[in-house]
A = this chain, B = another copy of it.
Amino acid sequence: MESNLKAYAEKIVHALETRLPNPEHPPVELSLAMRHSCLAPGKRIRPTLCIAACEAVGGSAEDAIDLACALEMIHCFSLIHDDLPAIDNDDLRRGQPTCHKVFGEAVAILAGDALFCLAFETAGKSPIPPQTLVRCFQVLSRSVGIHGVVAGETADILAEGKPVEAKLLEFIHLHKTASLISASCEIGALCGTQKSSDIHALKQYGEKIGLAFQIVDDILNEISTTEQLGKKTGSDRELGKATYPALYGIEASMKQAVELVNSARANLQSLEGNTSFLDGLASYTVERLW
């Protein structure tokens, strides 16, 4: 799994390189800030899922690569804004100083905006048929704003320091993380097939591993060291964040993550293509813990 993931990540980083503004593109500080955040080492889970979902329904990586890059750009934009002093105030991300620590708050806000915009610009260059591309735009935009990532992040910061409720916790995790991961799988599927049942199955698979992924992230934030994660740990507890371990304890949270992964793997069974990588990736989501 690790070597497969590495191969996807390398392909994606290469594609990002050619789609990001070059370091001399004016304003230079903006281009450098976008590159700093988007090219920092990362697992590239979302674009990998997009490409792998496309391949699982018979499409090629080339069909999905522009959308895959768009998904990673959106993920990076959300990380830059979440790390800002006014939001989570994090100094470290992917083992590097956060964007605002290097370029200042103003440029970091604008670099996030520019990456978000570049995501749509990049998606707009995809060679897939216009009708499919419009559907991808619909899924992508719906997964990020008031129905997705931004809503989850807002609910997350508004919940800080308050008693954690199960319903709100699910809202936060479904929106903050599962939404874009689910969209990654759905968009990948759209790039490779027109078969509604396959597209739906991959969307469901994505939502479940997205939720499992966030639960595992919550657990790792509790039990890992900063060196292991490349970002500050224990910070959720300090901030009084709504997390699965805070509500259910670590053991019950792990159990929920495993159940979600098993259910996600079951969603793959209706597909005719080769789903072994996606199956392994689902398991990998929780194996990070062992």
Contact = CB atoms under 8 A, between A and B. Distances in A.
Contact of A81 (B34, B113, B130, B145): B113
Nearest to A152: B27
Interface string A94-107: 00000000001111
A154 B30 contact: yes
Interface residues of A, number: 55
A164 interface: no
A151 interface: yes
Interface string A76-93: 011001001011000000
B158 A27 contact: yes
Given A30-B151, A155-B26, A86 B113 contact: no
Instruction: Give the oligomeric copy count.
Output: 2
27 contacts: A25-B146, A27-B155, A29-B158, A30-B150, A84-B109, A87-B106, A87-B109, A107-B154, A109-B109, A112-B113, A113-B150, A114-B145, A116-B116, A117-B141, A117-B145, A117-B146, A117-B150, A120-B141, A121-B141, A121-B147, A123-B137, A124-B134, A124-B137, A130-B131, A130-B134, A134-B134, A137-B137
